[in-house]
Amino acid sequence: MNIDRQQVFVWSLNVRLFHWLNVIAITLLILLGTIILNAKLIGVTTDGKILLKTVHVIVGYVFALNLVFRLLLGFIGKAHERWNKVLPFHQDFIKALAEFKNHKKPVYKGHNPAGKLMVFALLFLMSTQLISGLVIAGTDIYYPPFGKYFAESIAIDKEALEDIKPYSKDNVDDAAYKTMREIRSPFITAHVYGFYSLLLLIPLHIFGVIIAERREKTALVSAMITGYKYLPKKDGN
């Protein structure tokens, strides 16, 4: 049966730019992270590992700024930029999820209920990676925003912080260094588990988009490029 559809604007330029920059940044971070995790296995030198971590952190800054922009946009943006349109926390969500599971509602202007759950899970994991990654960058290669603080905390001579470099014990107090490593340990754990969780959720997200497009036929994929979905003319949501 042919359904008469209309072009409806849904995703703003802000949301689309965030989405695709996020895709690029996360893809690069996963590739770099995989190499770093297997550096010893594939014979990466110490200098090579430092270079990989440096590039990983630089890409991480892009990822972090992009994510912070999106988090703020959820509070100050318009329409489907806002969290009440994107996250599964509105009053009628349980009812909407039940309708979705029972195929009672054929199309959605924004995310369907399953999509909202996925967005929340991805945002939570990305926020975990952002926070843990910044701490690790500060304790591992002494990069901002926490690098100077941690360098000072382990320095024997606090006037010679430039001597403190990754994988070097020059000007480093062993006891303070051990304490710093203990502080960073839970952040490493969170970062690694977040990494593996993203490896699981990202394919599920892609699979869910394919299923939703086949079910709703609203040009879901191209909408994240053009901003427009194609909804039945009688659909008022």
Residue 135, both tokens: 């701490």
- Tens-digit pLDDT profile for residues 176-194: 999 999 999 999 999 999 9
Identify whether the C-beta of residue 116 lies closer than 8 Å to the C-beta of residue 122.
no
Average pLDDT over residues 82-101: 90
Q: What is the pLDDT of residue 223?
A: 95
Identify whether the C-beta of residue 148 lies closer than 8 Å to the C-beta of residue 178.
no
Q: Buried b vs exposed e over 190-200: b needs ≥16 C-beta within 10 Å? A: bbeebbebbee
d(CA 52, CA 48): 6
Q: Which of 18, 9, 128, 8 is nearest to 73 (CA)?
A: 18
Domain 5-232 has CATH 1.20.950.20: yes
Q: What is the pLDDT of residue 234?
A: 66
Average pLDDT over residues 199-206: 96
Residue 236's pLDDT band (cuts 50, 70, 90): very low
Identify whether the C-beta of residue 145 lies closer than 8 Å to the C-beta of residue 207.
no
